Structure 1
Amino acid sequence: MIWLGLAVAIFLGAFIASPPHIFKNSPLTWLAPTVILFLAIAWNISPSLPGQPAGKFYGLIFHFYGASLLTAMFGPAIALSILFPVAFLGVYVVQGNYEAASQHYLMVCVLPTFFAYLSIQIIQRFIPKHLFVLILGNGYVAAFMSVILSGTFLLVAKMLMGEAGQLDIEGWLLGLIIIAFMEGSLSGMLLAIMLIFRPHWVSTYNEEAYMSR
């Protein structure tokens, strides 16, 4: 119940922090359900890493989280609001375990969203504004770092809890790098497509700042 309570509290906080009536306005009226369904399916078709239990986040079974891309497009509050039903549709409906769904939300959604938002803020603050930097930084780098930092955080947490003997640390780190490259590549590619065809969907894009030159 603790995991569920924490997940619900974060979701409600994110939902309240989102702009008023944002989910009643286009494009989120139809885009949010589409993203939820797509990610719920994507989470369940990904392979697991060697030696890691299936159906658990700490097995790092997902090849595409989507948290970083949603953060770059809509900001962390909307991203966490969308990802909550993804976790319960993609995990609880399949496994029937609300605790596992809650842990997935906290570790697969909240942690990557936090680290992606932190990476984006650092990039926007210290790197000159350029469209290529926006795509590479907010798309690829932020997604890559969100996976690396989230996975490293969980690895350290498991080691501190005395579970290091149960882990293939070398395999974990190798798999983490592979997954991070996949996440970064997909997020960067999709963000570039959005900037070309639907730039108004990307909240971190400012046409005057990035195109004035």
Structure 2
Amino acid sequence: MDESVAGFWQKLLSGINWDFAAGDIAAFAALVIWLWALWPVAEIRQLLTTPNKQTQILIATIALTGLWLLNANVNAGIHVHFLGLVVLMLMFGWRLASIIALLPTLFFAIFVFKQPADFAIYALLGVCLPIFGCFILYSQMFKYLPHHLFIYIFCGGFLNGFVSILVHVLAWALWLLITTDYTWQFLSANYLVIIPLLAFPEALLNGMAITLLVVYRPDWLYDYSDRTYLWRK
């Protein structure tokens, strides 16, 4: 039994490249600056005194990590998986969601990418940027569209899920174009072409999850209120 466990960990850790280049250090610095700029002081203080919220974060982190493990490795540096970031954003707000997603990102960089040096840039382009983009869309939706439950679920969940994949894939494709030998034609044929195949299921996944949360756990959603979306004005 001990030998099998040791073999499992040896296989899991084998092939991990721990080399860091100057660009990787710069990406870490940029990530630190971004996290410093968005650091949610009030949410962190509330989290430290709210066991229920800690449990929600634990569940969300495990679920997100499991979702990302359903990953297809197309080519070196090109990985295809669902994100689930919109649900995270609507549960905890975009600031805290950006921080929570760092642990699954670190796990993904080490054990799937096997390139820990890619953690910072993947966190910035593959996680933080899509979350921020979805937050912008969500805030404009709340500002200009009627406060209706259908709008909250469809735009906040379904549409934002589509946008999260779009931003994620485009940002990562641009990074690969700049830092690798991949041409735009190659990326278009082997990576960008999967956007519709990923975006619509991602939209459905997030929309269904938000629908279930609205029905069964509305208190788990960051700023959802029956008074806002259901009560007659």
- Whole-angstrom distance in 1 between the partners of 2:36 and 2:161: 24
- The corresponding residue for 1:207 is 226
5 Å matches for 1:143-182?
A: 143-156=161-174, 158-159=176-177, 163-165=182-184, 167-182=186-201
Q: TM-score, normalised by structure 1?
A: 0.84
- The corresponding residue for 2:30 is 6
Residues 168/160 of structure 1: CA separation in 2 closer, same or farther (3 Å cut): closer
- The match for 1:78 among 93, 96, 100 is 96
Deviation at 1:73, TM superposition (A): 2.0
Uncovered stretches (5+) of structure 2, i.e. residues with no partner: 1-24
- Quote the sequence identity (%): 18
* Number of residue pairs aligned between Structure 1 and Structure 2: 206
Uncovered stretches (5+) of structure 1, i.e. residues with no partner: none
Deviation at 1:10, TM superposition (A): 2.9
* Residue identity in the other structure for 1:72: L
- The corresponding residue for 1:88 is 106
Kept in 2: contact 1:4–1:98 (CA 8 A): no
Q: TM-score, normalised by structure 2?
A: 0.77
Larger radius of gyration: 2
* Residue identity in the other structure for 1:37: I
* Residue identity in the other structure for 2:210: L
- Whole-angstrom distance in 2 between the partners of 1:93 and 1:142: 28
5 Å matches for 1:21-40?
A: 21-24=45-48, 25-40=50-65
- The corresponding residue for 2:11 is none
* Residue identity in the other structure for 2:231: S
5 Å matches for 1:48-127?
A: 48-49=73-74, 52-53=75-76, 56=77, 59-62=78-81, 64-93=82-111, 97-127=115-145
- Report the more deviating stretch, 127-136 or 7-16: 7-16
Q: Which has the higher contact order (CA 8 A, sep 6+)?
A: 1
What's the CA shift string for 1:74-123, capped at 9, x where partnerless? Answer: 21111011011121123225555321222221122111101110111121
Kept in 2: contact 1:23–1:29 (CA 8 A): yes
- Whole-angstrom distance in 2 between the partners of 1:143 and 1:81: 19
Residues 34/8 of structure 1: CA separation in 2 closer, same or farther (3 Å cut): farther
- Whole-angstrom distance in 1 between the partners of 2:112 and 2:176: 25
Residues 205/11 of structure 1: CA separation in 2 closer, same or farther (3 Å cut): same
